[in-house]
């Protein structure tokens, strides 16, 4: 088959926005100043078509108004002024979504189906830079060698027709792996070399099992066990019995592990309390489906439930930020979609913990600069979310150099699940023996092999490049559209995501419901030939789901898929044999007892011992000395420019905030729409006024002092955020996402026992908060190996817990924002301010280690929030905002920038005996800033006075239309700052990145 | 509920049939259907593959008064936004589209739908004669000057002298969200541009705070010359625009809705609904 090369570029008079952007990035990041750049699209068509047909295709896909195109090569500029030409294209086997669409376009233009593939690339024609600089630009900005290849040409050139065809010939083989008689050392080596991430006791259990079966395992069986038993899938640390020595030195055993003892227990205790109080009446339990499915489900209206899941995709994002983050968002979309019989995706959330973007200085070899990770992660989630037609509702960035090794990439999705579908409750799958197993969506390749086991170990030089995946959101969107139709027609009985562990996990999990499964891997459609059966079994190639289809619905299901151009293949049958049987054609490659696969994992007792490293803190005198040297106004402005305080709007505007037309309180609010909202509010269905409210809490810095206080602070802030926006206090639920440094003691992790104790204390704190606030945990995720060892340097993340809270409103028109509304309104601070500056933004601003972490009293705070919610219900609250990072000063600044009104506040009642700076920057939890009408002030005070209500001052008209913040104490004005000064500091554009 | 106080007769409006084409990565079907439904019309959501199954007959679109080309990422916007989807329509439903337009059918294209109408040559649609096949493409929506997708609310200045039936009575300005990466409108040549401007085929332009058309970011999010945000054909019945009236069906979609309510200026319904009502009204007028 001849290969045709198509080159397309803009006409000279038409601007080339990619070239402009590239020049800006090269200048800003590398200090390179090319005289000129032009870019070009390249499509290499390895298809069964003639030259005449290729010309027809070219005419159909090139824009006749703005582009010029050639079959072969376009002229490379004027003779005598040659550019250096960089071409970036994919490595063999890497998902090329654009290539797929070009092939579709070719087929449409020719009116027939074609065999083969299209490979795409981008050409950069660079003038005014030597070849060496173009090579540097390629290496440091324009390509990632894990997924892409480059070629540099200097004219005259011959059009390159080389395509990265993937695959191999030869019959796929299954190996027998001998375990019998191997020493522990040999078993350990085998596990490491095959990237099984199985411990020696786990290898023992496997060996013993096959001894009992009277045979040795196949490679496919070993891989299947490794995926199923991976930390990623089985949450071994979360489920392990723990010998725990607490800070007081007393030791006890947490027999059922932290997950059951704290996380599940919190939810069960909330469930019992709800039942005892009769709060749910006859409407059915608030908790519809928790911990048992891909996502958590809570009751919302008579028509639909709410589904929520937040995932992390840390390890892949470290290697390929764009692809790793994109697969993070489209992957969690599949989790929420694949809950019950399928839910309609409603909103995305994201959050990134990253190294500081202005990081300078050397990095360990193998690490990307934080700004490149940041840029890639954002663009991956932007493209994945936008192309899926899902708005984002919450987003955050948090910077700390300890996230330079492994960034934390949180992606989450809210969905609306119809209460009933085709006469059945949608939240229950009903897979039965005899139902056919159908794989649907993308094809299987080597991409994403060992993702589950890879994310269960630290990142190092030998991390597998094939663990990197790239998403194809459009293939997935087409699959979701088709599956939603199939769901509404009742064409399937069960569904789950093909995520970590691929088919081995999805079929293995679903087989538990029916009691067995048998599949034939030879039927699985492949991206290219040459995959071994075990690779097909565990590949995490994206955009795939596994569906259980009753035999009488199979024809209709497959016909609908074909009509929607979605690839669906029957690959086997659910059985009741108690075994997972996998064939490759005639050959049996895997025959595992489900009881062993899901129950054979040996339990290891872990040791946790609270033994924090000794730290020296700055004295109060040192701190107050440092503060005294700086005027209050200067401190406030400097605080707004801190990396973790800044607006974050720069990247956020590239995410869709509006698609679906349901958003009510958006991620940014205010006159200039540049202040991050306290929480967001969205309608769920067109024509209805009920809403969903989202907020979260994340405070990894407090972990350096006490993870117990950290977890309480996270849950507390999540709750406060949704309440400030007007959420019902009786309908809140939360997700817990733990991202921990390796908490298992070993040669490379000598402090593992303390890190595990930190986990225990965090879980204790989370439990206390959830029970006090009536906040069930409905789903979550734990990621336990967030360490990177590169070039002999180990970088571990701080213990990090994200608590994502989902609230509900009966009527979105009662929503509040942080923005004060009318001059004359009275501003209050609700809740005590203490000297709580330990690991605060103030400590980082001053560069001082401070002690004194915020102490959360969940029961006392819960009573306060009840009173606050009742005051809102009574119409007494006009605006509300949380105090979080940066304390009162940052919250007040937000209010001024959002409203462009004046705030004149007195610190006199804030805290007892606190200096103004501490009153302004303390991060005490449990506090809300609110405003009310002057005529309602007495009524509000009567309700909230028992909960530490402080009258701060009043809202005033802006000065010449612009807001200002006036801070007073003891009759003296300490600072008066205009909104322009606040905004200059707050906006990232004004900082060099 | 109609937003401008002039109620459409519900019984008649129900007879207006709207076809919303879906699939292949498009994603604004729910809000588009809600817009036309709230304007009183009867809406069919149909996957394009179903239309193509009908064999691409010339009368495949008969019985519909309004054809909606919705927003989203058809085929991922790969190659160029709207390109692959428009080609599929051109090759396989072209005759039916021509018949629909010749019979006085109305069409609304939003964002990806606007890009599709431009690729199809239906906008600006100045060179095609009745009874002839689809014309060649004459305009293009190219990458924003600042590369990448950008989400912001924009103010549009509405040209009261435009023949566009969809914008009648709206103005002088209307706000709605804009969110796209390829929205800068360019024409094949200057004479075409002059003809379009002379015929007032640019019903909406990005405007600054004072309501004057602008080329300055971010009021104009893509750098479109003269602030051009949309186009209509000479009959005024085919209208495409980059911003999304379908995302302003509720008063609470507006970023300032609480401030508007405090000031007593909150409309009874989202103002984007007026575009849909105008389309239904034009269909009723025949």
Instruction: Return mean pLDDT, chain A.
Output: 93
Which among A27, A34, A121 is positioned nearest to A77, based on CA atoms?
A34
Strand locations in A516-567 (E): 517-520, 544-549
The reported pLDDT for the residue numbered B55 is 65
Residue A564 near chain B (CB below 8 Å) = yes
- Lowest-pLDDT range of A622-636, A766-780, A881-895, B8-22: B8-22
Is B147–A101 a contact, with Cβ atoms under 8 angstroms apart? no
The reported pLDDT for the residue numbered A171 is 78
Q: What digits encode the pLDDT tens for the residues A728-780?
A: 999 999 999 999 999 999 999 999 999 999 999 999 999 999 999 999 999 99
- Cα–Cα distance measured from residue A455 to residue A443, given in angstroms and rounded to the nearest whole number: 23
- Cα–Cα distance measured from residue A816 to residue A726, given in angstroms and rounded to the nearest whole number: 6
Helix (H, G, I), strand (E, B) or coil at A675: strand
The reported pLDDT for the residue numbered B195 is 97
Q: What digits encode the pLDDT tens for the residues B94-140?
A: 999 999 999 999 999 999 999 999 999 999 999 899 999 999 999 99
The reported pLDDT for the residue numbered B1 is 38
Cα–Cα distances (Å) from A762 to A713, A757, A828, in that order, read 10, 8, 32
Helix (H, G, I), strand (E, B) or coil at A947: helix
Cross-strand bridge partners of residue A826: A932, A954
- Lowest-pLDDT range of A92-106, A558-572, B212-226: A92-106
The reported pLDDT for the residue numbered B6 is 56
- Cα–Cα distance measured from residue A764 to residue A771, given in angstroms and rounded to the nearest whole number: 11
- Cα–Cα distance measured from residue A346 to residue A619, given in angstroms and rounded to the nearest whole number: 50
Where is A566: in which H helix or E strand? Answer: none
- Cα–Cα distance measured from residue A209 to residue A972, given in angstroms and rounded to the nearest whole number: 78
A570 and A558 in contact (C-beta within 8 Å)?
yes
Is A563–B188 a contact, with Cβ atoms under 8 angstroms apart? no
Q: What digits encode the pLDDT tens for the residues A174-206?
A: 999 999 989 999 999 999 888 888 989 999 999
CATH number belonging to domain B10-285:
3.40.50.880
- Cα–Cα distance measured from residue A831 to residue A717, given in angstroms and rounded to the nearest whole number: 13
pLDDT band for A991, please (50, 70, 90 cuts): very low
Is A66–B142 a contact, with Cβ atoms under 8 angstroms apart? yes
- Asked if the model's pLDDT at residue A234 lies above 70, the reply is yes
Q: What digits encode the pLDDT tens for the residues A675-730?
A: 999 999 999 999 999 999 999 999 999 999 999 999 999 999 999 999 999 999 99
| Percentage, residues of chain A above pLDDT 70 | 98
pLDDT, mean of residues A304-322: 92
- Asked if the model's pLDDT at residue B182 lies above 70, the reply is yes
- Cα–Cα distance measured from residue A480 to residue A495, given in angstroms and rounded to the nearest whole number: 12
A103 or A498, greater pLDDT: A103
Question: What residues does CATH 3.90.650.10 cover in chain A?
Answer: 616-646+818-993
- Asked if the model's pLDDT at residue B10 lies above 90, the reply is no
The reported pLDDT for the residue numbered A462 is 57
- Cα–Cα distance measured from residue B105 to residue B66, given in angstroms and rounded to the nearest whole number: 6
Closest Cα in chain A to B136: A64
Q: What angle do CA A13, A153, A371 make, to 5 degrees?
A: 75
- Asked if the model's pLDDT at residue A551 lies above 60, the reply is yes
Tokens 């699940």 identify what position?
Answer: A417
Helix axes B273-285, B29-38, angle to 10 degrees: 60
- The first and second tokens of residue A477, run together, are 């969107």
Is B144–A17 a contact, with Cβ atoms under 8 angstroms apart? yes
Residue A111 near chain B (CB below 8 Å) = yes
A324 and A350 in contact (C-beta within 8 Å)?
no
Cα–Cα distances (Å) from A242 to A230, A248, A608, in that order, read 19, 17, 7
Helix (H, G, I), strand (E, B) or coil at A224: helix
The reported pLDDT for the residue numbered A471 is 84
- Asked if the model's pLDDT at residue B59 lies above 60, the reply is yes
- The first and second tokens of residue A124, run together, are 């950069």
A-chain residues near B257 (CB < 8 A): 664
The reported pLDDT for the residue numbered A167 is 80
- Cα–Cα distance measured from residue A645 to residue A642, given in angstroms and rounded to the nearest whole number: 5
Q: β-strand A544-549 against A494-497: which pairing, if any?
A: antiparallel
A662 and A686 in contact (C-beta within 8 Å)?
yes
The reported pLDDT for the residue numbered B3 is 44
The reported pLDDT for the residue numbered A437 is 96
The model's pTM: 0.96
pLDDT, mean of residues A954-960: 95
CA distance B152 to chain A (A): 7
Give the per-residue SS3 of A794-817: EEECCCEEEEEEEEEECCHHHCCC
- Cα–Cα distance measured from residue A177 to residue A226, given in angstroms and rounded to the nearest whole number: 14
Is B177–A657 a contact, with Cβ atoms under 8 angstroms apart? yes
Q: What angle do CA A40, A44, A45 make, to 5 degrees?
A: 135
Q: What digits encode the pLDDT tens for the residues B240-249?
A: 999 999 999 9
Residue B143 near chain A (CB below 8 Å) = yes
Residue A473 near chain B (CB below 8 Å) = yes
Question: What residues does CATH 3.30.1280.10 cover in chain A?
Answer: 4-153
- Asked if the model's pLDDT at residue A262 lies above 50, the reply is yes
Q: What digits encode the pLDDT tens for the residues B185-221?
A: 999 999 999 999 999 999 999 999 999 999 999 999 9
The reported pLDDT for the residue numbered A459 is 63
CA distance B254 to chain A (A): 8
CA distance B75 to chain A (A): 6
Cross-strand bridge partners of residue A693: A681, A807
Contact residues for A104 (Cβ-Cβ < 8 A; gap 6+): B75, B84
A-chain residues near B151 (CB < 8 A): 653-658
- Lowest-pLDDT range of A468-472, A643-647, A684-688, B160-164: A468-472
pLDDT band for A454, please (50, 70, 90 cuts): low
- Asked if the model's pLDDT at residue A147 lies above 90, the reply is no
Cα–Cα distances (Å) from A387 to A298, A383, A655, A823, B79, in that order, read 27, 6, 10, 43, 14
Where is A724: in which H helix or E strand? Answer: helix A707-724
CATH class for the region spanning A616-646+818-993: alpha beta
Is A664–B253 a contact, with Cβ atoms under 8 angstroms apart? yes
Helix axes A858-873, A752-773, angle to 10 degrees: 40
Burial of A599 (0-12, 13-18, 19+ CB in 10 A): exposed
The reported pLDDT for the residue numbered A355 is 94
A548 and A492 in contact (C-beta within 8 Å)?
yes
Compare CB distances from A98 to B27, B78, B255 and report the shortest one's residue: B78
- Asked if the model's pLDDT at residue A989 lies above 70, the reply is no
CATH number belonging to domain A4-153:
3.30.1280.10
| Percentage, residues of chain A above pLDDT 90 | 83
**What is the four-CA torsion angle of A212, A214, A220, A222, rounded to 10 degrees?**
40
Cross-strand bridge partners of residue B141: B185
The reported pLDDT for the residue numbered A499 is 80
Q: β-strand A408-418 against A304-312: which pairing, if any?
A: antiparallel
Compare CB distances from A14 to B186, B255, B257 and report the shortest one's residue: B186
> How many Cβ atoms sit within 10 Å of the Cβ of residue A689?
16
A-chain residues near B146 (CB < 8 A): 17, 21
- The first and second tokens of residue A608, run together, are 């946790």
- The first and second tokens of residue A903, run together, are 């705030």
- Cα–Cα distance measured from residue B24 to residue B21, given in angstroms and rounded to the nearest whole number: 10
Instruction: Indicate the domain borders of chain B.
Output: 10-285
The reported pLDDT for the residue numbered A935 is 97
| Percentage, residues of chain B above pLDDT 70 | 96
- Lowest-pLDDT range of A226-240, A310-324, A462-476, A478-492: A462-476
A-chain residues near B225 (CB < 8 A): none
Which among A697, A878, A686, A720 is positioned nearest to A807, based on CA atoms?
A720
Residue B136 near chain A (CB below 8 Å) = yes
- Cα–Cα distance measured from residue A177 to residue A862, given in angstroms and rounded to the nearest whole number: 57
């Amino acid at each position: 088959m001849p290969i045709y090369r198509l080159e397309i570029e803009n006409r000279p008079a038409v601007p080339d926005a990619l070239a402009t952007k590239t020049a800006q990035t090269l200048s800003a990041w590398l200090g390179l100043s090319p005289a000129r750049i032009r870019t070009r699209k390249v499509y290499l068509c390895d298809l069964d078509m003639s030259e005449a047909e290729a010309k027809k295709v070219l005419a159909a896909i090139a824009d006749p108004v703005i582009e010029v195109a050639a079959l072969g090569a376009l002229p490379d500029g004027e003779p005598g002024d040659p550019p250096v030409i960089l071409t970036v294209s994919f490595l063999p086997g890497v998902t090329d979504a654009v290539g797929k669409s070009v092939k579709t376009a070719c087929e449409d233009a020719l009116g027939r189906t074609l065999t083969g593939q299209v490979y795409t690339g981008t050409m950069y024609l660079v003038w005014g830079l030597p070849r060496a600089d173009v090579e540097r630009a390629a290496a440091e900005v324009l390509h990632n060698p894990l997924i892409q290849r480059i070629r540099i040409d200097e004219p005259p050139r011959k059009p390159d027709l080389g395509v990265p065809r993937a695959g191999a010939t030869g019959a796929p083989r299954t190996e027998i792996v001998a375990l019998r008689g191997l020493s522990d050392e040999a078993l350990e080596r085998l596990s490491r070399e095959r990237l099984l991430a199985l411990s020696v006791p786990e290898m023992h259990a496997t060996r013993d099992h096959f001894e009992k079966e009277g045979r040795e395992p196949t490679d496919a069986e070993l891989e299947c066990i490794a995926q199923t038993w991976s930390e990623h899938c089985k949450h071994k640390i979360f489920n392990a019995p723990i010998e725990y020595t607490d800070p007081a030195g007393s030791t006890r055993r947490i027999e059922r592990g932290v997950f059951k003892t704290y996380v599940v227990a919190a939810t069960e205790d909330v469930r019992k309390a709800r039942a005892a109080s009769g709060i749910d009446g006859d409407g059915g339990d608030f908790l519809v489906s928790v911990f048992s499915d891909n996502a958590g489900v809570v009751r919302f209206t008579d028509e639909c439930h709410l589904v929520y899941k937040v995932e992390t995709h840390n390890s892949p994002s470290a290697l390929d930020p764009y692809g790793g983050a994109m697969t993070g968002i489209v992957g969690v979309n599949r989790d929420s979609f694949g809950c019950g019989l399928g839910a309609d995706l409603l909103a995305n959330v994201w959050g990134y913990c990253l190294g500081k973007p202005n990081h300078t200085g050397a990095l360990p070899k193998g690490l990307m600069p934080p700004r490149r990770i940041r840029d890639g992660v954002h663009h991956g989630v932007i493209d994945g979310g936008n192309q899926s037609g899902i708005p984002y509702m919450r987003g955050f960035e948090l910077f700390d150099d300890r996230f330079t090794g492994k960034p934390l990439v949180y992606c989450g999705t809210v969905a609306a699940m119809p209460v009933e579908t085709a006469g059945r409750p949608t939240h229950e799958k009903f897979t039965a023996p005899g139902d056919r197993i159908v794989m649907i969506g993308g094809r299987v390749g080597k991409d994403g092999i060992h993702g589950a086991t890879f994310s269960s170990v630290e990142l190092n030089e030998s991390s597998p490049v094939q663990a990197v995946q790239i998403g194809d959101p459009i293939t997935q969107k087409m699959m979701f559209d088709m599956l939603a139709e199939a769901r509404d027609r009742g064409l399937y009985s069960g569904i789950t995501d093909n995520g970590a562990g691929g088919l081995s996990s999805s079929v293995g999990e679903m087989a538990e419901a029916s009691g067995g499964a048998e599949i034939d891997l030879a039927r699985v459609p492949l991206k290219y030939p040459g995959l071994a059966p075990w690779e097909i079994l565990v590949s995490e190639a994206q955009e795939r789901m596994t569906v259980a289809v009753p035999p009488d619905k199979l024809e209709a299901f497959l016909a609908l898929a074909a009509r929607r151009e979605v690839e669906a293949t029957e690959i086997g049958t659910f059985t009741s044999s108690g075994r997972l049987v996998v064939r490759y054609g005639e050959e049996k490659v895997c025959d595992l007892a489900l009881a062993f696969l899901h129950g054979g994992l040996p339990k290891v007792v872990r040791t946790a011992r609270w033994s924090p490293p000794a730290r020296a803190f700055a004295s109060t005198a040192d701190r107050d000395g440092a503060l005294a040297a700086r005027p209050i106004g200067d401190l406030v402005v400097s605080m707004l420019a801190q990396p973790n305080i800044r607006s974050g709007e720069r990247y956020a505007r590239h995410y869709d905030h509006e698609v679906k037309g349901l958003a009510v309180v958006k991620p940014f609010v205010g006159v200039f729409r540049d202040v991050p909202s306290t929480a967001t509010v969205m309608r769920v269905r067109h024509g209805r006024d009920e809403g969903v409210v989202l907020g979260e809490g994340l405070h990894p810095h407090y972990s350096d002092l006490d993870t117990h206080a950290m977890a309480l602070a996270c849950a507390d802030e999540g709750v406060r955020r949704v309440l400030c926006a007007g959420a019902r206090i009786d309908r809140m639920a939360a997700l817990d996402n733990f991202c921990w440094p390796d908490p298992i003691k070993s040669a490379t992790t000598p402090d593992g026992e303390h890190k595990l104790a930190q986990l225990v204390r965090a879980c204790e704190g989370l439990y206390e908060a959830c029970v006090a606030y009536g906040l069930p945990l409905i789903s979550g995720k734990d990621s336990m190996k967030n360490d990177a060892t590169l070039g002999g340097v180990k970088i571990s993340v701080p213990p990090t817990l994200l608590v994502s809270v989902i609230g509900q409103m009966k009527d979105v028109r009662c929503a509040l924002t942080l923005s004060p509304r009318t001059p004359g309104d009275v501003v209050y601070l609700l809740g005590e301010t203490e000297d709580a500056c330990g690991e605060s933004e103030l400590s980082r601003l001053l560069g001082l280690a401070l002690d004194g972490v915020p102490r959360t009293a969940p029961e006392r705070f819960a009573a306060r929030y009840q009173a606050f919610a009742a005051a809102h219900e009574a119409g007494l609250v006009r605006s509300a905002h949380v105090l979080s990072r940066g304390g009162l000063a940052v919250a007040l600044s937000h209010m001024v920038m959002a409203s462009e009104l004046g705030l004149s506040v007195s610190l006199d009642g804030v805290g007892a005996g606190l200096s103004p700076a501490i009153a302004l920057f303390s991060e005490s939890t449990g506090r809300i800033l609110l405003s009310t009408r002057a005529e309602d002030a007495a009524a509000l005070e009567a309700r909230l006075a028992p909960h530490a209500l402080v009258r701060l001052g009043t809202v005033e008209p802006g000065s010449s239309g612009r807001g200002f913040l006036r801070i007073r104490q003891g009759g003296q004005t300490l600072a008066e700052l205009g909104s322009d000064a606040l905004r200059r500091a707050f906006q990232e554009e004004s900082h060099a990145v | 509920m109609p937003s401008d106080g002039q109620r459409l007769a519900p019984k008649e409006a129900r007879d207006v049939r709207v076809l919303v084409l879906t699939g292949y990565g498009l994603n604004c079907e729910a809000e588009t259907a809600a817009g036309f439904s709230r304007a009183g019309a009867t809406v069919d959501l149909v996957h394009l593959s179903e239309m193509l199954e009908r064999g691409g007959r010339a009368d495949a679109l008969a019985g519909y008064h309004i054809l909606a080309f919705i927003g989203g990422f058809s085929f991922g916007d790969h190659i160029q936004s709207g390109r692959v989807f428009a080609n599929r329509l051109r090759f396989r439903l072209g005759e039916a589209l021509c018949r629909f337009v010749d019979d006085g059918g109305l069409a609304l294209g939003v964002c990806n739908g606007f890009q599709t109408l431009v690729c199809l040559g239906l906008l600006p649609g100045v060179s095609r004669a009745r009874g002839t096949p689809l014309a060649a493409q004459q305009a293009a929506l190219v990458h924003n000057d600042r590369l990448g997708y950008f989400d912001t609310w924009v103010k549009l200045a509405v040209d009261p002298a435009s023949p566009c039936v969809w914008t009648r009575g709206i103005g002088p300005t209307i706000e709605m969200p804009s969110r796209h990466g390829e929205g800068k409108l360019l024409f094949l040549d200057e004479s075409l541009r002059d003809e379009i401007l002379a015929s007032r085929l640019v019903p909406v332009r990005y405007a600054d705070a004072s309501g004057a058309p602008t080329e300055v970011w971010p009021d104009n999010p893509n750098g479109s010359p003269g602030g051009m945000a949309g186009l209509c054909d000479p009959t005024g019945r085919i209208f495409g625009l980059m911003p999304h009236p379908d995302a302003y069906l509720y008063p609470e979609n507006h970023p300032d809705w609480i401030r508007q309510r405090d000031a007593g200026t909150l409309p009874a319904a989202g103002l984007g609904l007026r575009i849909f009502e105008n389309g239904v009204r034009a269909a009723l007028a025949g």
